[in-house]
Chain A
Amino acid sequence: MTTTEKPGWKSLPMGGVVTEPGSALKYKTGDWRAFRPLVDRGKCVNCLLCWIYCPDSAIIRHEKWVEVNYDYCKGCGICAHECPTKAIEMVEEQK
């Protein structure tokens, strides 16, 4: 991570205060991921247990299946663990 393109101490708000609400969206935590959840749409029954359990709200709902938002998914694997039809597989990220 480069630190030179970010704002310096003179322009940052005092004491680490974040002045803009909802700015966590700008923090793409997806690059923390070591394992990537892959959804098999054939097996998915759209029960939405993964959507309920995902601690990062990184499951995107569709009409008949779910998709993972890889911008925010940290790869914790809870979705794969909870999926009753084993439709989600955790695959190691390629370097």
Chain B
Amino acid sequence: MTVVGLTGDEAIAYAVKQSNVDVVAAYPITPQTIIVERFSKYVADGEVKTGYVCVESEHSALSACVGASLTGARVFTATASQGLALMHEILYITSGLRCPIVMGVANRALSAPINIHGDHSDMMGSRDSGWVQIYAENAQEAYDWTLLAFKIAEDRGVQLPVSVNLDGFIISHCMEGVDVLEDQNVNRFLQTRKPLFTVDPEKPITIGALCFTDYYFEFKRQQVEAMRNVPEALARTCKEYRGMSGRNYDVLEGYGMEDAEAAVVCLGSTAGTAREVARKLRKQDKKVGVLKLWLYRPFPTEEVRAALGRVKALAVFDKAISFGAEYSALCSDVVTAVHTLKEQPKIFNVVYGLGGRDIQPSEIELVFNQALEAAKTGILKEKTVFLGVRE
């Protein structure tokens, strides 16, 4: 076991270094910059053989990645916020052309007003772009999921791009002890990418052909099937990884969910804080639980339903707003997942942390108590709580 001090961004760069990536094309943007900065140092120092393409924008970065991926290369990029927004049209091209690119996203708020701090507005705005979305809770998870992401993306039945999301600054810039694997173990785990198609003058193919009314729909249906294949590929990959690393990963992770009456559902670093609060409340004999989703797209509907089957009240934490919608993204998906349950839990949406505003344990405790109250009385006071906003 080798534990090194790494920030979340550095942990991802380290994982990419070990993944024998053929091409990286990226453009710096806070709070992602350190990922590609550290990686460019590995390139400059000759520690990796990766082709590093300097480009003039994120739109070009992902476009170059798509071109490289179509030749059969293993490709990585990273971005955040406005950069992800600028990539938007290429996100759909990446998934549509079935490029298993892995992208680190250090989640950050979107302008305006301009802000550089962490929330999930960037990736939530891209949730229908056909990318697999994974959210890491800390630097260790960011490292592990980056390695796992290549294997899941390149799985024969998947062949989809995967984003590894980490909360801007909270994870991206926070240094933690990260247990890293030996290079040869990563090599054995990932091996070389085996593309389904490659660019070969001896066997010419056409990529990106025009598809009108008579074919387009069929290719979108293929993408649906690829998404459906993700959970099985993820389970298989995580099992193999467990054997090598001793660390357990899955589509989600519960704390106290066996007997919880009130629970919090969330993504990323907030799960750690929520778990601490839940631990404290359980010592006071309050039956609370935390459900953290590692996988957000495809949404693990069955697993969420199974985990929430016995819960009476639920607070779903969204670090983004879906303007004009009844609930924000995660809450909307959770409501969809549980709507067929015989006994419906009382669900309310907690919108929090926008523009990187800190969430305090005391605030989460307040939400737990609201949920416990709703579990007891069966009455919801509010459908959406804007936690920590000034009136």
Residues in A lying within 8 Å of B, measured CB to CB: 1, 3, 6-9, 12-19, 21, 23
Near A by CB (< 8 A), chain B positions 201-236 give 204-209, 211, 213-215, 218-219, 221-222, 225
Contact (Cβ within 8 A) B214 A1: yes
Which chain B residues border A8 with CB–CB below 8 Å?
Answer: 218
- Given A9-B222, A21-B205, A14–B215 Cβ distance below 8 Å? no
- The residue that B209 contacts in the complex, of A3, A9, A16, with Cβ under 8 A, is A16
Which chain A residues border B221 with CB–CB below 8 Å?
Answer: 9
Query: Is there a chain A Cβ closer than 8 Å to B96's Cβ?
Result: yes
Which chain A residues border B225 with CB–CB below 8 Å?
Answer: 9
- Roughly how many angstroms separate A19 CA and B198 CA in the complex, as a whole number? 10
B67 to chain A, nearest CB (A): 14
Contact (Cβ within 8 A) B213 A17: no
Query: Is there a chain A Cβ closer than 8 Å to B196's Cβ?
Result: yes
Most buried by B among A1, A8, A9, A15: A15
B130 to chain A, nearest CB (A): 11
A sample of 8 inter-chain contacts (CB < 8 A) reads A8-B218, A13-B197, A14-B159, A14-B196, A14-B197, A15-B97, A16-B207, A23-B206
Contact (Cβ within 8 A) A6 B97: no
A26 to chain B, nearest CB (A): 12
Query: Is there a chain A Cβ closer than 8 Å to B59's Cβ?
Result: no
A12 to chain B, nearest CB (A): 5
Which chain B residues border A9 with CB–CB below 8 Å?
Answer: 218-219, 221-222, 225
B85-106 vs A, CB cutoff 8 Å, 1 = contact: the mask equals 0000000000011100000000
